[in-house]
């Protein structure tokens, strides 16, 4: 059976762990050559080695997505390795928390430089190659936090992801005539190595109790949505974001209230 991404190349940022790693593995399993990008180069290299061991074509890059110079080098590397850039998944993000009253300007700037400016820089760096080939699939990792929900202590994160969604819509209009689509996914509560280390058993059970599907998402749940938007199955979809949250944003009332009719 033909793989959906056979002959395509992809860049995935923040792919040394968590959701980004899940995206890289899923795209590779569907035939894409993948540049695994992470600011932690050792983590990116380890994921790329695993993908090659599984028979995929994969390379890695240690890249700070908040640096225009570093991101431009990333795009050049992908072109040198693969000859084209078909799929871009700007996934890298940070989420250091702080209440507004206590938040430093430096923390605000640091988070937005990665989460929001990093998306802009990655898209801008890959745009010439996609424009020249009249083809591109850009899938950005957003979040339900900001566009749909909020958490105290995460105003900067919410602002960054709200900004990402606005960027996606505006970019879609600019790119539509160029053969390039841009869409996003909005993950809900996803269990990764990083979140697992932060959550104790009691907190995990409490969160699961208000997720209608009764479980945390896994990186693969997000990656499968990305795969759809990165493939030609979504050729007529652009400027959209897909919520992947197990239904957590649906209830109007807390679990158990009001009682069922």
Classify residue 7 as left (phi > 0), alpha (psi -120 to 50) or beta. Answer: left
CA geometry: angle at 91 spanning 190 and 123, to 5°?
155
d(CA 132, CA 147): 33
The catalytic position among 135, 157, 253, 257 is: 157
Residues 101 and 23 sit within 8 Å (Cβ to Cβ)? no
135: annotated active-site residue: no
Give the number of residues written for the chain.
261
Q: Give the residue numbers marked as catalytic.
A: 157
């Amino acid at each position: 059976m033909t793989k959906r991404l056979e002959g395509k190349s992809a860049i995935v940022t923040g792919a040394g762990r968590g959701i980004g790693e899940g995206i890289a593995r899923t795209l590779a399993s569907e035939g894409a050559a993948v540049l695994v990008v992470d600011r932690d180069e050792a983590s990116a290299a380890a994921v790329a080695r695993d993908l090659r061991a599984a028979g995929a074509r994969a390379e890695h890059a240690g890249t700070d997505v908040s640096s225009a110079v570093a991101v431009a080098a990333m795009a050049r590397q992908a072109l040198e390795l693969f000859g084209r850039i078909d799929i871009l998944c700007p996934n890298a993000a940070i989420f250091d928390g702080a209440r507004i009253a206590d938040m430093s300007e430096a923390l605000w700037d640091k988070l937005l430089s990665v989460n929001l400016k990093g998306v802009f820089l990655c898209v801008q760096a890959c745009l010439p190659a996609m424009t020249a080939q009249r083809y591109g699939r850009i899938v950005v990792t957003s979040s339900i936090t900001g566009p749909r929900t909020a958490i105290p202590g995460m105003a900067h994160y919410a602002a960054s992801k709200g900004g990402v969604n606005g960027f996606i819509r505006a970019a879609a209009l600019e790119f539509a005539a160029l053969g390039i689509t841009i869409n996003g996914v909005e993950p809900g509560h996803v269990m990764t190595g990083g979140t697992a280390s932060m959550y104790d058993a009691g907190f995990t059970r409490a969160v699961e109790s208000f997720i209608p599907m009764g479980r945390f998402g896994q990186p693969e749940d997000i990656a499968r949505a990305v795969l759809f938007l990165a493939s030609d199955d979504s050729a007529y979809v652009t400027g959209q974001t897909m919520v992947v949250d197990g239904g957590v944003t649906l209830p109007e009332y807390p679990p158990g209230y009001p009682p069922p009719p």
